[in-house]
A and B are shown apart, each in its own frame.
Chain A
């Protein structure tokens, strides 16, 4: 809101320069965005907090300046003017919807001459960016910026009746507003009507038909109080935002209605001639009751640590025009009608504190109490991030809203049955109206973004919440998920190593490393189909207690095609909440071997369907004496091996804790294991 420095000084004496005022007003809570010179004046752009509609005028700002400067605010003096005839003999006012209009006052000025405003008025309005129109319209605008009360002038002879009816619009009723647009109204909207039809949108804008014109001789001046929510709702619905609506929707001064009207009428008589009605028709069905709040002065110190002398507390509050009386230890404060924001003791504390100065409050740390605490899984999550970083994965963050998705299998435990994405009632991005139940679409879009920019090697992971409807009217399920997408080379080609395309095992290896870093129990992977994964290259991830937590694999062609991916993409998604709370790895010391161990390799020609896990399980289950460990040495396919088979080479370690094993003992034990494997899998030894 723009405030003219010269105009402001009509209401309060101040020695402060515009720049000083900027600083001082900012420090009482009226931030000044800018101070600009305008001819011989300065214009202050004040950012008025939403709970302070009383500051949306020169007098309103003047009240604050007066307290800062230790002066009194001087209200504009209403000079006497010519009056004749009682208003109720000339017109009538009826409020039909008292819930939306608590006060309506109408007063007439007859015999005006519409003309341009005098220079001083034109200048004042122009200084604060208002466009002058004619003397009557300009006066209503001037008083709005002077006192903060929106006013409206009707051409009295255009009003049928001639009377004023404040009522809800009939559904579909139409009104052409001053901006020339025809508005279709609903019965939630309050209008000012004459005997027949709407003539103004209450508190927002007048109608074109009853607008002041050069031929206007008699005017009806409206000054009213409209219910804030009703004005806000109507303005929003019609996409309107006016000087009047901005003030009514935050809350006008219901007690200031007549004073503003009188000031307006006086200025009209002065500038446009005419004779005013002796009085106003003032319909005021819901009387204002002033609020009284007790302030215990020690509460100022309790809440702010400021020591303010009682005399200063009283000075500040009376300066702000609270009525203050002492009663024992307490101050009984009557709140001025325009201070709709002051409702309780803490609000008074704030008044005292901001006019004493927040800068006077000494910085101190609260005395130590409890010790700090991270979220239980925070340190694990940090390790998880760093583990994926160590494998070249960048951390991504995507919006929580996505398109409707059906291609991806949700993580277990998010939902039972088919997943229902929560739908947004009011999305801001049209194609992202659903809450994500999987992180993968976001990551795949990010992947596509990078590929489109010519980056071929992309590895991303994201940690974030996913959502699913439970039942209607219940809060949706939310779980923390981890997802990974990767494509391109596994490493950058250099002299030391040739480039290799990334594959399933790069993603799996990164996850396994993360699990190790987090000291969690190892995961198991079982080959299973999943909707979004390519058959034969997809697995379910399980905790060692068998709980399924997610899937890993190569993105199915059908999904990849939607994103126009031409190279293999590997993805992983799991339920991070469950993983982080999963069993920890138990570390127990094993004595170091005292006798040497011996290793024997065995190569088996097996059916491709036999998994390494199955092989290893047989080895372990056989419980051959002195067998210690087994590991995979290599897998050979192709060449002279039939396509349905592959050759697997295992390295078995034998060792005794009692003595060095003799060759013959080792051969015996190894033969036992070898025959078990050959028998179990109908394998050939190579």
Chain B
């Protein structure tokens, strides 16, 4: 082989190497046009890429014919060397150019196919650990607590089984009041009451903390109602109390309105109507503009535009006296509302018994 080569002139050898490349490259030449690659799938394209890479090594590598021919420069006459150099460069450039063009097209084709193959369905569900849910009453209770803590209130809770004094007497509920009856309030065998409102907590808190005081008492209360779609013998309510010097009904209205705006949106409007509760005087029930229809009338507000939410008023002087606070020096307001009721309104529950059935299909709808 070496003998034969020596017989050829260096320039001839270079040209022969170029020709040899052209011959072998012929089958790749069409790939210079990217459209010609369209039919190749990923595996075929990868095979072609490998073949092309081998071709490059064979014709441009250290052991290629072209490399060998270049080494013959020493045998070229000095005056022909520039022309020889020019020839070598021309052929080499052509080889490189042709290889690069096809390689680029192949690379693009491979990238395209690979992208297609690795494309994911982004609409598949995300991978998540099992996730449980807080009870909707807890969700609301926490929101309510957050709002009132931000308004400077302390959160209090207390016993659920109470004495007559805390459940009724201290709250100015007269001895003959129907709420004290066994038809309305649960009693234990030895005569203690299951608290029928969390106002009991207000009394304990005023005794312990004294006044001034700002507090809310969210908690579980009991009333002797037969379970039906709108009643449960147990429910959650939150009661608020603010006692200080100079507290007025203006502060009551302002506080309840601020709370409801934070809860239901800044455009919430409230309405206070005179009412009667033994533990407040004056007393008021409050309504707020329907959060759903904004007052236009809908199913939730029974087409009135208003939703009745709770009771409120100025703390009855007898209640203040019961905890040793002078009603001439201090005044206060109190309000109460049902968390379950709020829950029923917000989520449009048609049967509040669901709240305590703990069906996971129900619980998992919240949060």
| Complex Cα spacing A304 to B161, Å | 34
| Complex Cα spacing A344 to B127, Å | 67
Q: Which residues of A are found within 8 Å of B331, using beta-carbon distances? A: 302-303
In the complex with contacts A347-B281, A350-B282, A366-B247, A372-B276 CB distance below 8 A: no
In the complex with contacts A303-B249, A423-B189, A428-B233, A478-B161 CB distance below 8 A: yes
A392 lies within 8 A of B132 (CB):
yes
Q: Which residues of A are found within 8 Å of B224, using beta-carbon distances? A: 426, 428
Residue of A nearest to B367 (CB): A389
Is the CB of A247 closer than 8 A to any CB of chain B? Answer: no
Q: Which of B281, B361, B363 interacts with A396 by CB under 8 Å?
A: B363
Contact with B along A367-384 (1 / 0, CB 8 A): 011111111001000100
Give residues of chain A (310-338) contacting chain B, Cβ–Cβ below 8 Å.
none
Give residues of chain B (337-357) contacting chain A, Cβ–Cβ below 8 Å.
355-357
Contact with A along B235-258 (1 / 0, CB 8 A): 000000010101111110111011
Q: Which residues of A are found within 8 Å of B276, using beta-carbon distances? A: 29, 49-52, 341
Contact with B along A406-419 (1 / 0, CB 8 A): 00000000000000
Interface residues of B (CB under 8 A from A): 127, 129-135, 137-138, 142, 145, 148-157, 159-163, 176, 178, 181-183, 186-192, 194, 212, 214, 220, 222, 224-227, 233-234, 242, 244, 246-251, 253-255, 257-258, 270-276, 281-285, 314, 316-317, 331, 355-361, 363-364
Give the one of A26, A301, A349, A395 with max B CB within 10 A.
A395
Is the CB of A544 closer than 8 A to any CB of chain B? Answer: no
Could you name 30 residue pairs across A and B whose Cβ atoms are closer than 8 Å? A29-B274, A49-B275, A232-B176, A232-B178, A304-B314, A306-B249, A344-B317, A350-B281, A362-B250, A362-B253, A363-B250, A366-B244, A370-B212, A372-B153, A389-B132, A390-B132, A392-B129, A392-B130, A392-B132, A397-B137, A424-B189, A425-B182, A425-B186, A428-B226, A446-B358, A449-B357, A450-B358, A450-B360, A453-B359, A464-B220
B186 lies within 8 A of A427 (CB):
yes
Question: Chain B interface: which of A70-78, A209-217, A467-475, A516-524?
Answer: A467-475
A385 lies within 8 A of B145 (CB):
no
Q: Which residues of A are found within 8 Å of B156, using beta-carbon distances? A: 375
B222 lies within 8 A of A400 (CB):
yes
Question: Chain B interface: which of A196-204, A258-266, A455-463, A568-576?
Answer: A455-463
B186 lies within 8 A of A426 (CB):
yes
Q: Which residues of B are found within 8 Å of A205, using beta-carbon distances? A: none
B161 lies within 8 A of A435 (CB):
yes
Pairs A-B, 6 closest by C-beta atoms: A392-B130, A29-B274, A372-B149, A350-B282, A305-B250, A446-B358
A458 lies within 8 A of B255 (CB):
no
| Complex Cα spacing A459 to B30, Å | 65
Q: Which residues of B are found within 8 Å of A27, using beta-carbon distances? A: 273-274
Q: Which of A229, A350, A362, A473 interacts with B176 by CB under 8 Å?
A: A229
A392 lies within 8 A of B131 (CB):
yes
Q: Which residues of B are found within 8 Å of A306, using beta-carbon distances? A: 249
Q: Which of A29, A347, A424, A478 interacts with B186 by CB under 8 Å?
A: A424
| Complex Cα spacing A496 to B212, Å | 59
In the assembled complex, how far is the CB of residue B318 from the closest CB belonging to chain A, in whole angstroms?
9
| Complex Cα spacing A31 to B283, Å | 14
In the assembled complex, how far is the CB of residue B150 from the closest CB belonging to chain A, in whole angstroms?
6
Q: Which residues of A are found within 8 Å of B148, using beta-carbon distances? A: 372
| Complex Cα spacing A229 to B271, Å | 34
In the assembled complex, how far is the CB of residue A44 from the closest CB belonging to chain B, in whole angstroms?
16
Q: Which residues of A are found within 8 Å of B222, using beta-carbon distances? A: 400
Binding site of B, secondary structure by majority: helix, strand, loop or mixed? mixed
In the assembled complex, how far is the CB of residue B19 from the closest CB belonging to chain A, in whole angstroms?
56
| Complex Cα spacing A423 to B186, Å | 10
Q: Which of B186, B233, B358 interacts with A460 by CB under 8 Å?
A: B358
Q: Which residues of B are found within 8 Å of A50, using beta-carbon distances? A: 178, 276
In the assembled complex, how far is the CB of residue A519 from the closest CB belonging to chain B, in whole angstroms?
20
In the assembled complex, how far is the CB of residue B287 from the closest CB belonging to chain A, in whole angstroms?
10
Give the one of B132, B153, B285 with max A CB within 10 A.
B132
A478 lies within 8 A of B159 (CB):
yes
| Complex Cα spacing A370 to B285, Å | 27
B138 lies within 8 A of A395 (CB):
yes
B255 lies within 8 A of A465 (CB):
no
Is the CB of A126 closer than 8 A to any CB of chain B? Answer: no
Is the CB of A398 closer than 8 A to any CB of chain B? Answer: yes
Q: Which residues of A are found within 8 Å of B282, using beta-carbon distances? A: 303-304, 346, 349-350, 353-354
In the assembled complex, how far is the CB of residue B96 from the closest CB belonging to chain A, in whole angstroms?
47
| Complex Cα spacing A358 to B274, Å | 7
Residue of A nearest to B216 (CB): A372
Give the one of B151, B212, B314, B316 with max A CB within 10 A.
B314
| Complex Cα spacing A491 to B285, Å | 49
Give residues of chain A (506-554) contacting chain B, Cβ–Cβ below 8 Å.
none
B192 lies within 8 A of A400 (CB):
no
A465 lies within 8 A of B160 (CB):
yes
| Complex Cα spacing A305 to B150, Å | 25
